[in-house]
Amino acid sequence: MREQPGIAIVVGAALALLTAPAAARPAPPAAGELPLVPLPQSVTQGSGSFLVADGARVGTPPGDAGAAAAARLLAQHVRVARGIALAPVAGEAAIRFVRDATVTGDEAYRLDSDAHGIRISASGDRGLVHGAMTLAQLLSPDRAYGRPVAVPALAIADAPRFAWRGLMIDPARHFQPVAVLRDIVDQMAAVKLNTLHLHLSDDQGWRFEVKRYPKLTEVGAWRTPPSAGGPPGARVGGFYTQEELRGLVAYAAERGIVVVPEIDLPGHAQALVAAYPEHGVLGDRPAVGHDWGVNPYLLNPRPETVRFVEDILDELLAVFPGPYIHLGGDEAVKDQWERSPAVQAQMASLGLKTEMQMQSWLIDQLAAYLAKRNRRLIGWDEILEGELPQSAAVMSWRGETGAVEAAKRGHDVVLSPGPTLYLDNAQSDQADEPPGRLAIQTLADLYRYDPLPAGIDAAAAGHILGAQGNAFSEYLITARQVQHAIFPRAAALAEISWSAPGTRDFPGFVARLQPQIARWRRAGLEVADSAFAVTYTLEGKRGDVLRSGRMTVALATQAPLGTIRYTLDGSAPAANSRRYAAPLTLAPGATIRAAAFDAAGVALAAPRSFATDRQALLGAGNDALTACPTGSLALHVPLTADATADAPAYKIDLFDTCSVFPAAPIARARTIALDVARLPRPFGLAHEFTKLRAHYNVTPHGELVVTAGCPTKDAPRPAVLATFPLPDPASAPNRMRFEAALPPQTRDADLCLQFTSPLADPLYVVDHVQLTEPVQ
């Protein structure tokens, strides 16, 4: 159950970024300048400060293993973030950890500092860890490195708003070594997140070593990537040994984090069925899946298979001692059960009328098995669609409806609704965003979310455990891409689930966030700068700009922080570059480069560029194209489905490979050149396959058809400007260029770029379209 705040906030939330002082003894920050994320429940400022320099001792009660672990963690983070070494010792010191039974709650702590020293008090191990992480932030309040730090006199009384503050990592789709998970655990602890949910199985991979059933990893942990034409690539995959996972669990526990394992069933089971087809439904042996989405393979609900799963759970429970075991329950299309005489007979013998009741029966068997071992089942909100054991908890991902219903029925709930808390969504429309879903969820979107659903009554509200962000990895391939998706949004997730709701203040949050971003980067993490990067908006149409010789460009950032500075000659902007105050009106030809700078003159993000020459105005990259009017599922997918390093990524409409160059200046164009990429088609659509738009191909592998506007009811046959037959995917390279002269046009129009390749062939996408004017 969640812990109640009930502590008054004394220091305001709009905190300013500190800059390094020049004096040998740094001045302490003034009230309201503490660089803390998440914001504590109560801070009372005193007078004076305590200087912490290299070699400072950190005392812990002799024999107190939890306090010693917290002191080591403090020293580790301060060494990386500040560059000074602290010395943990058993016994008294000016900086000390103490046990205090009056600090109630395992995660609560007090931090008291004055001119004589610093004391962190807690009754529980996790409270000591959280206090250590608050002190680590106080000891690295600015970008100075290696210098002593003056910690102001203050009293912090802190405890979390919610007991579940989680992050889900998905190594089932793209395996990540355990070292990558440890890095994430370290930086979860830095902002007081306390639950790591590991999605350990799916259609595309089984990652947990089961010694009784070795084929689960011998077969189920490896897959052959999909082809975009030609032979497939080398097998990819991996798995965690039980010893590795025990080490991760212990590592996380020292940092106040519990690890929740997930074995997804009865759906998302293709890797399991590939390893042990006798536990599938129809007796066939599929390959381990390489298609993202919803696939048909289900676990067989027969008693022998239930015992098989119980054997797996026995080994899982021995590795993961936490109270919750996640058993999925999502997206289990029931077609295999519907077509199986054996499953239908089992349903009849059990008196079950629907396949959903069959799933509920299966979940009930496994929940009872876990309950006998003092563990609780948690699953995605589909498990609510049937009867559900009272002990089961629900993770609500399809909005908040499931959360409200589950809480009313007396089930504990974790809020994890998409798209807001789905971290694989893009953070901006910048061209350099990594692959993912294209429903943009900004840092501000996440920060605005409240894990307590509106309108829920007090009794049901007591069942809200907290919130969790999910980094599903269909498109997050590399460790850097996973980190980019998580950070800095992990800080917003931490604040909405830890801090009191009445203190929510986005401008103050993004100011306090800057030191934490610096800490994460010093730890070697990839941290997205999307919220602070400059975006450009060209006002008006390109054709009008080309005709008039004048253009207006507006610059902006998502976050209300810093001052935008820009150059017009393509050089890197600096803190003394021209200040942006209003949209720029200029003649085409300049290259604008801009970045936002803080009060200390430090750039908040890498500079972004915007070219305004005539060639740029006559062209559009993939990021500038939009979906055709019939589009319904937009993704940002990589060139290859299982690249081991960052690969180019492209916006596509999965249901119709068609895109639009809006208001293209075709009235001035005489030729067109299109750079095209061919991508794998690794998508499991289940019943949504009917949404795919097939186009009659008049050459063997289809065509790229370029029209002046897209077909509509009123204009079903727009003018065809060019048609390019597509080559045989089996032998042609997966990048190609098409060029043609354009028939003269009297007016500009949307340029519709439609591929008609058969649905059995790979996907195509326009990488870049370039128009040219006649030679003057």
pLDDT, tens digit (0-9, with 9 covering 90-100), for 471-484:
999 999 999 999 99
Same structural domain, 201 and 343: yes
Task: Give a yes or no: residue 26 inside a domain.
Answer: no
Q: Total domain count for the chain?
A: 4
Out of 141, 158, 175, a domain closes at 158
Same structural domain, 112 and 204: no
Same structural domain, 569 and 441: no
The Cα-based distances of 142 to 77, 145, 162, 598 in angstroms read 14, 8, 29, 12
Q: For residue range 482-509, list pLDDT tens digits in order.
A: 999 999 999 999 999 999 999 999 999 9
Same structural domain, 661 and 537: no
d(CA 444, CA 433): 17
Task: Give a yes or no: residue 122 inside a domain.
Answer: yes
Confidence at 647, pLDDT banded by 50, 70, 90: confident
Q: Specify the CATH number for the domain of residue 115.
A: 3.30.379.10
Same structural domain, 626 and 695: yes
pLDDT surpasses 80 at 194: yes
Same structural domain, 281 and 343: yes
Average pLDDT in the chain: 93
More confident residue, 719 or 632: 719
Same structural domain, 737 and 671: yes
The structure's pTM equals 0.94
Name the residue range of residue 319's domain. Answer: 164-499
Percent of all residues in the chain with a pLDDT value above 70, rounded to a whole number: 95
**52 bridge partner residues:** 149
pLDDT surpasses 90 at 648: no
Q: Are 624 and 767 in contact (CB under 8 A)?
A: no
Task: Give a yes or no: residue 700 inside a domain.
Answer: yes
Same structural domain, 319 and 453: yes
Same structural domain, 175 and 218: yes
- Give the single-character DSSP code of 225: P
Confidence at 27, pLDDT banded by 50, 70, 90: low
**Percent helix, strand, coil in the chain (nearest 5)?**
25, 25, 45
Q: Are 298 and 687 in contact (CB under 8 A)?
A: no
Same structural domain, 597 and 651: no
Out of 106, 125, 158, a domain closes at 158
Residues acting as catalytic residues: 202, 268, 331
The number of beta carbons lying within 10 Å of the beta carbon of residue 218 is 12
Mean pLDDT of 302-327: 98
Q: Is 527 helix (H, G, I), strand (E, B) or coil?
A: coil
Same structural domain, 133 and 248: no
Task: Give a yes or no: residue 12 inside a domain.
Answer: no
Task: Give a yes or no: residue 29 inside a domain.
Answer: no
Same structural domain, 356 and 470: yes
Task: Give a yes or no: residue 313 inside a domain.
Answer: yes
Task: Give a yes or no: residue 35 inside a domain.
Answer: no
Q: Specify the CATH number for the domain of residue 696.
A: 2.60.120
